[in-house]
Each structure stands twice: as structure tokens, then as C-alpha cells.
């Protein structure tokens, strides 16, 4: 097999590696047809998180099952599947909720050193009945890829933001996850979605998705749009100190800050006293990927949620370094890069 590896100099290469073995009787091997680069992959690329001697990257992929252990019942060899980016044991009370984050054995993430990388030709999937979903008829490749992480994360960020239909929601950061959060907030009935990103091309996509993009600093613009009260919910899809500060300043008293961006390893100095006085709810969410599929698949099939225009660049796997450079550029033109293992 071949897989994408990053080394400590942040160099991306595509390397040969031994074919993966089944992880056990409940495991499966997936021959990958397409994988995507995620904003969280860029934390390795940008050097925010150490990668040691070399790390196989990628946690978002779709493909075809080419081998299963004898205990696998929900998918069979030949099935086209999507792979949850976050894995659980599939057998505990936590996994029974559909949320691998609550797995009592601890969640594992592909392409983070815990499990193999998904930017590869093949990946071994443990507890395949829990991690794999046979791609439903009518779900295209882009939607299937976004169900492995980004749409599930945007949806979780919006559905955990506690707003009621008709209320105002702000979304900070309009990368793939932020754009999915905008579309999810619209689908969940937000009255107005105020969307913020410094890159004009990214704001354009949010505008086309039903958001408005006010000018000016985020908190000032939200306060101006809400008669000084603040938004019922702020979804922070960036989660650097500056956007977290803006989120707390833009949320109304009694509102919710819903964080789905990936902060670096440093602590964030939160103004706890002011949050207490203003009864702010802070939610931080790693998406319960498998749990979201039941809500998302019907919305994708009936068109009330769309995934068009999110994957903007398609490259062969051998051009992974070019793909990472494109993603790291965070331009208006390139939102999300797909890598397809060539024949
Ligand atoms: Zn991801
Ligand atoms: Zn579990």
C-alpha cells in the first residue's frame, strides 16, 4: 500500500508501506477511493502538534471493503463505505450512544498516530460494524466524505448551540467545517446566520448558503446586528484565542458559545467571572460522527442540506504535497482538497 506521511520537517511524502492486517475478528480492510484533507490535518502541517519521526495522515475517506473479519455483520466485501474519522470499540455503553468520543476504552482517530492514515490506498478499520456505513443510494462521494467528519462536526456544532428557530446565530471561520455549520444552522431554523471570515471568497460561499456577512470586527458587527444584545449562539469553527474572545463578546447573556475549532496545545485564558455573571454556556464538541448519520443522511437525500461547493480541489494521491500546500494557503479559491489514489 501507499500512504501520505509527514515528518518533523513538515515535509509531505507518499510512501510505500506494508499492507495493513485486520485488527481482529471485528475489523475490516478498506481500499480507499478518495480521501480529503481536513483543517485539523493542518495542525500537523503547521507544526502546532509534534509528529515525531513520521506520521501517516488523514482521517476522512471512502472506499470499498476488501476484507472483513468473521464477526463483521453490517458490511461485506465489495460494499462501498464511508469511514468515521473517530473510532470507538463499538461494544461499550459509550459507543451504544453512537458517540465514539464517549467510548469507555477511549476514542481513537485515524491518521493521528492511533490508527492508520486515511490518505492512503488502504486502511485497517477496527470494530467495522461501528465505524463503517455502507454509502446509501443517492449520497454522492462529496457528501459521503463530508459525513466522515466535517459535516458531522458542523452539524454537531450547530445542534449543540442551543438556539431556537428564528434566533440569531453567528459562525466564526468559514472553512469547510464553518461552512457546514452555516448550512446546518440554516437547516435548523436559525433566523439569521451572521458569518465571519477574513477571506472574501469564503464569505461568498456563506452568502450563497443563506448567511449574511456584516463588515467590521466580529463582536461589534454581531452587536450592531442584534440591537446591542448579542447572538443567541456563536459557533467558533476556528478556536484561536482571538476568535474565542470574539465569541464571548458576541454572545448574548444566557447564550451559548459552541466551539468546534481545534485549539493548539496551550491553555486559553477564559474570562470566567464575566461568563458567570452573563450565564454563558460553553460547549466544546468533537462530533459524535456515527450518531449524526441518522439525522444527516435524510437531509442530504431530501436536499435540505447541501454539500456542493465544499470540496474545491481534486488531485491524485501522489500529489499530496501539492494538496497540503493548497489547503495550508487557506485561500478563497481552495476550501477543501480531495486526494484520489491513482490506479
Ligand atoms: Zn477532519
Ligand atoms: Zn466503546
CATH of the domain at 99: 3.90.180.10
% of the chain with per-residue pLDDT over 90: 93
Closest-lying ligand to the alpha carbon of 85?
1
Task: Kindly state whether residues 335 and 270 are assigned to the same domain.
Answer: no
Task: Kindly state whether residues 145 and 165 are assigned to the same domain.
Answer: no
Task: Kindly state whether residues 133 and 239 are assigned to the same domain.
Answer: no
Average pLDDT, integer, range 215-222: 95
164: exposed, middle or buried (Cβ count in 10 Å: 0-12, 13-18, 19+): exposed
What grid cell was written down for 245?
Answer: 474572545
Distance 146 CA to ligand 1 centre (A): 9
**Which uninterrupted H or E stretch holds 253?**
strand 251-259
Distance 40 CA to ligand 2 centre (A): 23
Distance 132 CA to ligand 1 centre (A): 16
Query: How confident is the model over 261-281, as pLDDT tens digits?
Result: 999 889 999 999 999 999 999
pLDDT given at position 265: 86
% of the chain with per-residue pLDDT over 70: 100
Average pLDDT, integer, range 314-327: 97
Name the pairing type of β-strands 61-68 and 80-83. Answer: antiparallel
Q: Which residues contact 59 (CB under 8 A, 6 or more apart)?
A: 38, 40, 41, 85, 86, 109, 110, 111, 112, 117, 118, 148, 149
Task: Kindly state whether residues 331 and 263 are assigned to the same domain.
Answer: no
Q: What is the CATH number of the domain that holds 169?
A: 3.40.50.720
pLDDT given at position 10: 87
Q: How many domains does the chain have?
A: 2
Distance 92 CA to ligand 2 centre (A): 4
Distance 59 CA to ligand 2 centre (A): 18
Task: Look up the domain containing 84 and give its range.
Answer: 2-149+288-340
pLDDT given at position 6: 96
Task: Kindly state whether residues 136 and 225 are assigned to the same domain.
Answer: no
Task: Kindly state whether residues 141 and 183 are assigned to the same domain.
Answer: no
Distance 85 CA to ligand 1 centre (A): 7
Residue among 343, 320, 240, 336 nearest 45 (CA): 320
Q: Distance between terminal CA atoms of the chain?
A: 12
Distance 104 CA to ligand 2 centre (A): 5
Closest-lying ligand to the alpha carbon of 153?
1
pLDDT given at position 342: 81
Residue 122 exposure: Cα atoms within 13 Å on the Cβ side: 15
Query: How confident is the model over 90-148, as pLDDT tens digits?
Result: 999 999 999 999 999 999 999 999 999 999 999 999 999 999 999 999 999 999 999 99
Residue 192 in 3-state DSSP? strand
In this structure, are residues 68 and 77 in contact, taking their beta carbons and an 8 Å threshold?
yes
**The whole model's pTM is what?**
0.96
Task: Kindly state whether residues 229 and 125 are assigned to the same domain.
Answer: no
Task: Kindly state whether residues 168 and 198 are assigned to the same domain.
Answer: yes
Distance 293 CA to ligand 2 centre (A): 18
Query: How confident is the model over 181-214, as pLDDT tens digits?
Result: 999 999 999 999 999 999 999 999 999 999 999 9
Task: Kindly state whether residues 40 and 59 are assigned to the same domain.
Answer: yes
Count of residues making up the chain? 343
Distance 145 CA to ligand 1 centre (A): 10
Measured in degrees and rounded to the nearest 5, phi and psi for residue 92 equal -105, 175
Task: Kindly state whether residues 208 and 241 are assigned to the same domain.
Answer: yes
Distance 228 CA to ligand 1 centre (A): 35
Closest-lying ligand to the alpha carbon of 287?
1
pLDDT band at 343 (very low <50, low <70, confident <90, very high): low
The DSSP string of 23-80 is -STT-EEEEEEEEE--TTHHHHHTTSS--TT-EE----EEEEEEEE-TT--S--TT-E
Residue among 64, 61, 8, 63 nearest 37 (CA): 61
Amino acid at each position: 500500500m501507499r500512504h501520505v506521511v509527514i515528518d518533523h520537517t513538515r515535509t509531505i511524502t507518499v510512501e510505500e508501506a506494508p499492507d495493513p492486517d485486520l485488527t481482529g475478528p471485528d475489523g475490516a480492510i478498506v481500499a480507499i477511493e478518495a480521501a480529503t484533507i481536513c483543517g485539523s490535518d493542518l495542525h500537523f502541517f503547521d507544526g502546532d502538534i509534534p509528529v515525531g519521526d513520521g506520521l501517516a495522515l488523514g482521517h476522512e475517506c471512502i472506499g470499498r471493503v476488501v476484507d472483513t473479519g468473521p464477526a463483521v455483520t453490517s458490511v461485506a466485501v465489495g460494499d462501498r463505505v464511508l469511514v468515521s474519522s473517530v473510532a470507538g470499540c463499538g461494544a461499550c455503553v459509550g459507543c451504544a450512544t453512537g458517540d465514539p468520543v464517549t467510548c469507555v476504552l477511549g476514542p481513537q482517530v485515524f491518521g493521528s498516530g492511533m490508527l492508520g492514515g486515511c490518505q492512503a490506498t488502504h486502511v485497517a478499520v477496527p470494530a467495522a460494524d461501528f465505524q463503517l456505513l455502507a454509502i446509501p443510494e443517492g449520497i454522492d462521494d462529496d457528501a459521503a466524505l463530508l459525513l466522515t467528519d466535517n459535516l458531522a462536526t458542523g452539524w454537531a456544532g450547530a445542534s449543540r448551540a442551543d438556539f431556537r428557530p428564528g434566533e440569531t446565530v453567528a459562525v466564526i471561520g468559514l472553512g469547510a467545517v464553518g461552512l457546514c455549520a452555516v448550512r446546518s444552522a440554516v437547516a435548523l431554523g436559525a433566523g439569521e446566520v451572521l458569518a465571519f471570515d477574513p477571506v472574501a471568497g469564503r464569505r461568498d460561499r456563506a452568502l450563497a448558503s443563506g448567511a449574511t456577512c456584516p463588515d467590521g470586527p466580529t463582536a461589534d458587527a454581531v452587536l450592531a446586528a442584534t440591537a446591542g444584545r448579542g447572538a443567541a449562539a456563536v459557533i467558533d469553527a476556528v478556536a484561536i484565542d482571538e476568535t474565542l474572545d470574539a465569541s464571548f463578546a458576541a454572545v448574548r447573556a444566557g447564550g451559548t458559545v459552541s466551539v468546534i475549532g481545534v485549539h493548539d496545545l496551550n491553555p486559553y485564558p477564559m474570562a470566567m467571572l464575566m461568563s458567570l455573571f452573563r450565564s454563558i454556556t460553553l460547549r466544546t464538541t468533537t462530533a459524535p460522527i456515527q450518531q449524526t448519520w441518522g439525522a444527516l443522511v435524510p437531509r442530504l437525500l431530501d436536499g435540505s442540506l447541501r454539500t456542493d461547493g465544499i470540496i474545491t480541489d481534486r488531485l491524485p494521491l501522489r500529489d499530496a504535497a501539492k494538496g497540503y500546500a493548497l489547503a495550508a494557503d487557506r485561500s478563497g479559491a481552495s476550501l477543501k482538497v480531495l486526494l484520489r489514489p491513482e490506479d
